[in-house]
A and B are shown apart, each in its own frame.
Chain A
Amino acid sequence: MALVEEKPREEQLPTRRRKIAATGADAAAYAVRDADVDVVAVYPITPQAPIAENIAQMIADGELDAELIHVESEHSAMSASVAAAATGARAFTATSSQGLALMYEILYIASGLRQPVVMALATRAYSAPINIWNDYADAMSMRDTGWIEIFSENVQEVYDNLVQAFRIAEHPDVLLPVVVTLDGYILSHTTEALEPLDREEVLSFAPKRPRGYRPVLDPDHPVTIGVLGAPNWYQEIKVQQALAMRESRRVIEEAGKEFGKRYGREYGFIEPYYMDDAEVAIVTLGATSSLVKAAVNRLREQGVRAGMVKIRVFRPFPAEELAKALENVSAVGVLDRAVSFGGALEGPLAMEVLTTLAVRGIVKPTISFIHGLGGRDIFVKDVVEMYQKLLEAAKSGKSVTRTLFYGVKSRRGHIV
């Protein structure tokens, strides 16, 4: 306890908060609890299961008052979540990989019906072969579904992103579902320090609006949700969705700034790291960003002007911000943990980055890297080697036109 007499201040300093040890799954559950979610429909899958288990325990202990629907599949989990949201409830679900794939058609329906469902995605590789470990295949397979997509780098971000997700999704100018990722095992099952907020703070930041602020299933104000949209109407409805996604930028930015003002941690679309004077930079997402930051640190010690840009909000893609951050670098690398087989480049993030630059007439030597599939460890030295390649590209002025797969057990060497 402080013995110093406290004088009243005009500005409220952020209060000292308790820090607790929490896994990403814990953090996700705390966010659900603090946001006073009404309905959780969830089906277990590795590595998401602890999120569901934590929520079940909180409900059993009376810490969270929510209906937990023990659905019989992920398709039903997303169906029940969308239906609950359409009834005016705050709905949450979580899944990974195959579970996400099983709910695939409903993902499009969630965004098409403009229902503000919030989902935690513990990223995991897709079968086949079956693999329960981390990569971003599932997250990438959602990129066209009309969901706002936010990647978390650490356990704190899992919590903070989910809290912001409820506010963003339910904003009347947005009304789109939001997915927040956490790297499978790397974040979901790894303990880090977490500063959770108070429930009052979360409900003040992401308030529950009056039930009728958007059309919901209400016998007193009946609406028909889920119509047949023939060719004479479907296109406009999709354009409205696209415009909502564009409009969401403003809401996402404002939420990130407000979060910083209130709680001391400001969030944007991207996080540049040592980019002010960077000569070479790698763009990446999720917990992989920490790894690349470590590589940057090591290279900086050696006098190499390396930097990195973390993409936090993948959808809507922050093209303007990214283009600006990469303005002065001499070579750009992109580190993907997912494969778009047969793509112009096989890295999905790489294709976003290349398009960002190309439409603005920004031509720089670029290299697309893929590593870390199915939970394969990426070592800092691997990333350092990627930077060496970028330095070569900066010197030669030439891009590599084919994606480079790293860390491969192959007779041709570890780069394919």
Chain B
Amino acid sequence: MALTKPIKSLWEIPREERFVGGHAACQGCGAALVLRHLTKVVGKDAIIVNATGCMEVISTLFPRTAWRNPWLHLAFENAGAAASGVEAALKALQRKGVIDKNRYIKVVAIAGDGGTFDIGLQSLSGMLERGHDVMYVVYDNEAYMNTGIQRSGATPYGAWTTTTPVGKKFRGEWRPKKDIVGIAYAHRIPYIATANPAYPIDMINKFIKAYNTRGPSLVHVLTPCTPGWRIPESKTIEVAKLAVQTGMWVLLEIENGKPKVTVKIRRRKPVREYLKMQGRFRHLKDEDIKKIQELVDKYVEEINRWVGEEAIGPVEE
């Protein structure tokens, strides 16, 4: 049974593992941890559609699978379209009496930032616009990690990747991160949220809400990548937490167009603390870090204006 009510403590997380161990994810992989919790929330009555990417590849090396749910992978850019096809099939088969009408089987699409922000954007947009009842979870490790840490539209300003490397002329990504929440918001879908594995109760409750939304929903989760971000395997959660504590990652929830911040930060930590933990930002000079701090300050200001309160406070002295 999928969870329907929000949880208040970690003890309420279902024990049954539906994304089982033995898969080939890196030690400390943020995404694998997130999927483990996602599958616990959605339970048995969910069909998973997974785009090509880290999570698909490490979990389904024939003849083994880590998935206890029915699971479909087609290609890199079509999680949205494939999920639409499954959802439509379920609707038709239920209407024609082939599947029990009273059974709610959720279609859950899972894709990385690559398969969502860039190559998968078209099929995501189509799915959202047509209003399919699909829960779309994007695990964002901020680059095309599976193919070797190449830059994606989700790569943040200043980050080293293999296609935005640090050299004499160019030093990391020079463009800001694409706003996927804004894009989803423009589609006027009933539920959008951002989440972070360092705040598991908040994340799980958002998964619950998305599952129980009748219509398209999108949950955007930050999932640190130990090789790609150049962090020690034991630091995944610490880094993820700093993303929220510095205001680089704001935990939002937008229900029927009304935005709110679900984890307020009274005093933000300076971004330096987040950046210095990661090898992909090692090359940044003081003026680069200052620039990033300004970008975050601006972002926080926009969020506060949007939600109508100072949900994310100033940087602590």
Contact = CB atoms under 8 A, between A and B. Distances in A.
Interface of A: 38-39, 41, 65-67, 69-73, 75-77, 79-89, 91, 105-106, 109, 113, 211, 216-219, 221-230, 233
B302 to A, nearest CB: 29
Contacts of A113: 74
A76 B81 contact: yes
A55 to B, nearest CB: 14
Contacts of B169: none
Contact of A80 (B60, B70, B84): B84
A77 B47 CA distance: 20
Interface string B113-127: 000000000110110
Which of A69, A70, A211 has its CB near the most chain B CB atoms (within 10 A)?
A: A69
Nearest to A224: B65
Given A75-B81, A81-B85, A228 B71 contact: no
16 contacts: A41-B88, A65-B92, A69-B85, A76-B84, A76-B122, A77-B81, A83-B49, A84-B89, A86-B85, A91-B85, A109-B74, A211-B99, A222-B68, A222-B69, A222-B71, A224-B70
A220 to B, nearest CB: 8
B70 A219 contact: yes
B231 interface: no
A-B complex: 8 closest residue pairs judged by Cβ atoms: A83-B85, A226-B73, A80-B85, A76-B81, A72-B126, A87-B89, A89-B89, A67-B88
Contacts of B105: 219
B70 A217 contact: yes
B70 A82 contact: no
B47 A87 contact: yes
Interface string B25-51: 000000000000000000011110110
A105 B82 CA distance: 14
A113 B72 CA distance: 10
Which of A73, A106, A222 has its CB near the most chain B CB atoms (within 10 A)?
A: A222
B200 to A, nearest CB: 25
Contacts of B140: none
B74 A83 contact: yes
Given A41-B88, A226-B60, A227-B60, A80 B72 contact: no
A118 B71 CA distance: 22
B90 interface: yes
Which of A38, A65, A230 has its CB near the most chain B CB atoms (within 10 A)?
A: A38
A87 B61 contact: no
A41 B85 contact: yes
A217 B85 contact: no
B265 interface: no
A225 B92 contact: no
B75 interface: yes
B60 A69 contact: no
B89 A83 contact: yes
A219 B91 contact: no
Contacts of A221: 70
B75 A109 contact: yes
Contact of B74 (A71, A87, A106, A219): A106
A89 B87 CA distance: 11
Contacts of A82: 74, 82, 85
B157 interface: no
A224 B93 contact: no
Contacts of A211: 93, 98-99
B83 A83 contact: yes
Given A71-B84, A83-B83, A227 B61 contact: yes
B96 interface: yes
Contacts of B46: 219
Contacts of B81: 41, 71, 75-77, 79-80, 83
B122 A39 contact: no
A359 to B, nearest CB: 34
Contact of B78 (A39, A69, A106): A106
A81 B86 CA distance: 9
B32 to A, nearest CB: 16
A88 B85 contact: no
A72 B125 contact: yes
A71 B69 CA distance: 26
B156 interface: no
Interface in B118-155: 122-123, 125-126, 129-130
Which of A71, A113, A211 has its CB near the most chain B CB atoms (within 10 A)?
A: A71
Contacts of A223: 70-71
A222 B48 CA distance: 10
A39 B92 CA distance: 7
A228 B62 contact: yes
B62 A230 contact: yes
Nearest to A223: B70
A87 B94 CA distance: 12
Contacts of A69: 84-85, 88, 130
Contacts of A81: 85
B57 interface: yes
B77 interface: yes
B114 to A, nearest CB: 16
Given A218-B70, A228-B61, 5 more contacts: A39-B88, A72-B129, A79-B74, A84-B86, A211-B93
A216 B70 CA distance: 8
B80 interface: yes
A82 B75 CA distance: 11
B305 interface: no
Nearest to A87: B89
A225 B47 CA distance: 11
Contact of B84 (A41, A89, A216): A41
B22 interface: no
A225 B75 contact: no
A225 B48 CA distance: 10
Given A38-B93, A69-B88, A219 B80 contact: no
A139 to B, nearest CB: 23
A208 B85 CA distance: 19
B92 A66 contact: yes
B25 to A, nearest CB: 13
Contacts of A224: 60, 65, 67, 70-71
Contact of A229 (B47, B62, B90, B91): B62
Contacts of A65: 92, 95-96
